Structure 1
Amino acid sequence: MTSAMTDFEIYTPTAEEVHSGVLGRRMRQFNYGFVGEYGQSQPVWVSARDAQGELVGGLRGFVFLEWLNVELLFVDEAARHHGVGRNLLATAEQKARNLGAHSVTLNTFEWQAREFYLKQGYEEFGHIDNYIQGFQLVYLKKVLTS
């Protein structure tokens, strides 16, 4: 019979503890028991610039556990509706395929780009109502074809 742990302290870790990576290593070791060993996340960054060399948009994400996780996709208002976002997303999806990803996931607020992603073949699989000031946060995914 095991006894419950009752003697512990909740605290804010030091910067040294955070940077040591011990917590992450322990989590990975636990996960390996279920899905086997896996690699580190791989960044997927693409940018777009105009004829003058000015940044007009970009995408930042990473591939982890065979999924591309898009953290940010932004296109300047003046560059929208000219294929910049579509091409950024397509380029990132291809980079992700090359890194072994089979699918993509991302989230967007309803005022941002939900309709854009749906047009690019993404499927809404969830949302949180009233995430901020009555607006919905939408979760989308897409299976990457070869």
Structure 2
Amino acid sequence: MTPIIERLDLTDTDLRTRIVAPLAEYSTRKNFAFAPHFVTLALKDEAGVDGGLIAQVYWDWMHIEILAVPERWRGRGHGRALVDKAEAIAVEEGCTGVWVDTYSFQSPGFYERMGYRPFGRLPNYPKGEERLFFAKLLAKDTPHHPEKAA
């Protein structure tokens, strides 16, 4: 069976809320309210959840934190479908863009093929490799950007 993509709710714990509270208070005083929320997309089949995507939306950007597709489902477009769905959600929520970090030994080519452009790198993380940062601006012809819709 081919897995389906299902959006799930991932609730923040009380501990996370308490840890983030000082940051949220400070940012709110600076007119940048810090109120992130999760976007969770799961790959599911008859056995349950196995892989998916976890992102956070805050300050008009979505950050893809985790994208995981099991080996047996790779090469079938599921990773692309997960990112496409996340991007659609980001557009619905009025985001400016989506950013992601990955590693030189993982999937930089995947994100580049999806239109993501590098904006930073951290060398020797892990040793001999790099942590790479990519971003993609979302289309300006969305309902959230009416100046380009005409």
Common fold: TM-score over 0.5: yes
Structure 1 alignment gaps of length 5 or more: 1-15
Of residues 101, 104, 113, the one that matches 2:98 is 104
Matched residue type, 1:46: L
Structure 2 alignment gaps of length 5 or more: 1-14, 143-150
- Per-residue deviation, residues 19-40 of structure 1 (Å, max 9, x unmatched): 28652244123421xxxx5462
Contact 2:24–2:33 under 8 Å retained in 1: no
SS in 1 for 2:105: coil
- Let me know the Cα RMSD of the aligned residues: 2.3
Taking structure 1 as the reference length, what is the TM-score of the superposition? Answer: 0.76
CA distance in 1, matches of 2:89, 2:104: 27
Pairing of 1:33-72 with structure 2 (within 5 A): 37-38=32-33, 40-50=35-45, 52-72=46-66
SS in 1 for 2:54: strand
CA distance in 1, matches of 2:53, 2:62: 12
Matched residue type, 1:24: L
Matched residue type, 2:52: G
Over alpha carbons, which structure has the higher Rg? 1
Pairing of 1:1-146 with structure 2 (within 5 A): 19=18, 23-32=22-31, 37-38=32-33, 40-50=35-45, 52-145=46-139, 146=142
Taking structure 2 as the reference length, what is the TM-score of the superposition? Answer: 0.74
Matched residue type, 2:100: L
Moved over 4 A (4+): none
- Per-residue deviation, residues 6-62 of structure 1 (Å, max 9, x unmatched): xxxxxxxxxx9x828652244123421xxxx54621211111123x34434210011
SS in 1 for 2:30: helix
Aligned CA distance change for structure 1 residues 71 and 55 (closer, same or farther; 3 Å): same
Aligned to 1:6: none
Contact 1:122–1:141 under 8 Å retained in 2: yes
SS in 2 for 1:59: strand
Aligned CA distance change for structure 1 residues 27 and 111 (closer, same or farther; 3 Å): same
Aligned CA distance change for structure 1 residues 54 and 126 (closer, same or farther; 3 Å): same
Aligned length: 126
- Per-residue deviation, residues 64-85 of structure 1 (Å, max 9, x unmatched): 1110011111100111110100
Aligned to 2:8: none
